Amino acid sequence: MPLSLINPRTFRGTRDFLPNELLARHRILETIEEAYRRYGFQPLETPAIEYLEILTGKSEENDKLIYEIKRARGEEEESAEAAIALRYDLTVPLARVIAQYAELPRPFKRYQIQPVWRADRPQPRQGRFREFVQCDADIVGTDSLLADAEIIALTYEVLRDLGFENFRIRLSSRKLLRGIVSIIDSRDSMFMPICRIIDKLDKIGDDGVKRELVNLGIGWDKTVWAFDYVRTGFDSCRFNDIRVYLEANDQSGMGVIGLSEIEKVRLHALNLGVPETCLACDPTLARGLDYYTGPIFETVLPDHPHIGSLSGGGRYDGLVSTFSKERVPATGTTLGLDRIQTALTQLGKFKPMSSTTQVLVARFDAEGMSECLQMAAELRKAGLRTEVWYDDDKLKKQFAYADKQGIPLVVIAGPDERAKGTVALKNLRKQEQKEVAREGLVEMIKAWITSEPDV
């Protein structure tokens, strides 16, 4: 034993996932992965460590959120000086992959479920961590708005499959936003600053947005009027009215193109089975990242506004050009596993479970151990998830363990049973015990397990 113990603790903003939580989390991931595959997405994984310049690329807005890694002294190689860091999202690595591998099919539909790291102030209650898992699905290599519609339909199906009932997929286009913003302020340099302010609408409210816009020298009244006019138009599907308004006021011409994108994506999504009630076209959707170029979307829970968006994404036709001369259009979305888990927990739909074991082979005496091990081997051969009790403990303790873990069946072969060629089979769920023939035991248990839900 060491002179002083090391205090066992985790780095703030990171978490251990113990089995009871992780098993339920795995079910969420399986549901997401199943939907991704149903839409024809194939998996991709990229390294946690990337060269820093790859991660920062053109934009430097996220630099301060990136965890850099110290190079080890022993690393002797050409680029030993190049800084390395932990990835902070899965979109930039995808853009790198697209530029790096010419053999990838087009369209390239990939999903990626991996952790990312951000040197952010953690807010566990709001589901914000320094290490968290993103679940991305992206379609690379097509300009078709069908791809954007599929991303929306996929998002709808994932959330429906997870058990969400009342959620809204908000839809807009960066081009519509450009049109509206150009009506308010014609300076091109104002676009991203205004975007980032509008993106905070849910967090800081109308007043906060007003204050920040006024600080930028933007007229609030004009802003409100333009956004509200377009928003009302969407609500009542008066697309033609919006078009007339944009044609009259937006000199950039971008607004009309954006409107048409939104109309097409909406129609395709409805054809793909997304219910009209789940889709909300909304010009105040802005998204904070600067690489979006076309349709943008995110998902909110109207009944739980404090949870924030469960998914977010859009079209980014320029990101790959950080790494390649080829023009490669792309669209996609990120599902936030932690936000989803937080939301499902608050909706009472996240059910922890302690174990997936189906049978515990109890230990009665030392003489019976060979028999116990052989039974366990038979049960496992039949595909049954089986544990053997290791220590010389009272049956009461063994039953208590099975009970706490939620293991439904316990088999016990004491000397009496062994002499008779039988086994005592205890069903903890039904609280009953019976003596059954050793021969045929495995088939009997298998039949019972098959007939029971959730075992």
Task: List the interface residues with a second copy, window 310-369 (CB under 8 A).
Answer: 318, 321-325, 354-357, 360, 369
Give how many residues touch a second copy by CB under 8 A.
Answer: 115
Minimum Å gap between C-beta 75 and a second copy is 6
The dihedral through the CA atoms of 263, 265, 271, 275 has a sign that is negative
For 155-210, give the DSSP string: HHHHHHHHT--S-EEEEEEHHHHHHHHHHH---GGGHHHHHHHHTTHHHHHHHHHH
The answer to whether residue 68 forms part of the interface with a second copy (CB under 8 A) is yes
The answer to whether residue 240 forms part of the interface with a second copy (CB under 8 A) is no
Q: Residue type for 400, please?
A: A
The answer to whether residue 239 forms part of the interface with a second copy (CB under 8 A) is no
DSSP 72: P
Minimum Å gap between C-beta 321 and a second copy is 5
| Alpha-carbon gap, residue 265 to 269, rounded angstroms | 6
Q: Between 180 and 445, whose beta carbon lies closer to a second copy? A: 445
Provide φ and ψ at 300, rounded to 5°.
-130, 160
Site for a second copy in 403-422 (CB under 8 A): 404-405
366 burial level (CB within 10 Å; 0-12, 13-18, 19+):
exposed
Minimum Å gap between C-beta 442 and a second copy is 13
Contacts with 170 (C-beta within 8 Å, 6 or more apart), sequence order: 280, 281, 282, 285, 297, 298, 299, 300
DSSP 390: -
Q: Between 227 and 291, whose beta carbon lies closer to a second copy? A: 291
Out of 32, 84, 409, 441, the only residue in the binding site for a second copy (CB under 8 A) is 84
Residues 407 and 354: beta-carbon distance below 8 Å: no
The answer to whether residue 37 forms part of the interface with a second copy (CB under 8 A) is yes
Distances (CA, A) of 196 to 59, 130, 199, 210, 445: 15, 22, 5, 13, 60
Q: Between 222 and 404, whose beta carbon lies closer to a second copy? A: 404
The answer to whether residue 449 forms part of the interface with a second copy (CB under 8 A) is no
Q: Residue type for 397, please?
A: K
The answer to whether residue 454 forms part of the interface with a second copy (CB under 8 A) is no
The answer to whether residue 74 forms part of the interface with a second copy (CB under 8 A) is yes
Out of 384, 409, 412, 442, the only residue in the binding site for a second copy (CB under 8 A) is 384
The answer to whether residue 302 forms part of the interface with a second copy (CB under 8 A) is no
φ/ψ bin of 347: left (φ > 0), alpha (ψ from -120 to 50), beta (otherwise)? alpha
The answer to whether residue 136 forms part of the interface with a second copy (CB under 8 A) is no
Minimum Å gap between C-beta 137 and a second copy is 13
Out of 29, 62, 99, 160, the only residue in the binding site for a second copy (CB under 8 A) is 99
Out of 306, 381, 420, 429, the only residue in the binding site for a second copy (CB under 8 A) is 381
The answer to whether residue 383 forms part of the interface with a second copy (CB under 8 A) is yes
Q: Between 120 and 212, whose beta carbon lies closer to a second copy? A: 120
Interior angle at CA 288, CA 70 and CA 69, nearest 5: 5
The answer to whether residue 110 forms part of the interface with a second copy (CB under 8 A) is yes
Q: Which residues are bridge partners to 108 per DSSP?
A: 140
The answer to whether residue 2 forms part of the interface with a second copy (CB under 8 A) is yes
Out of 351, 374, 420, 433, the only residue in the binding site for a second copy (CB under 8 A) is 374
Q: Between 236 and 450, whose beta carbon lies closer to a second copy? A: 450
Residue 284's nearest CA partner among 300, 260, 272 is: 300
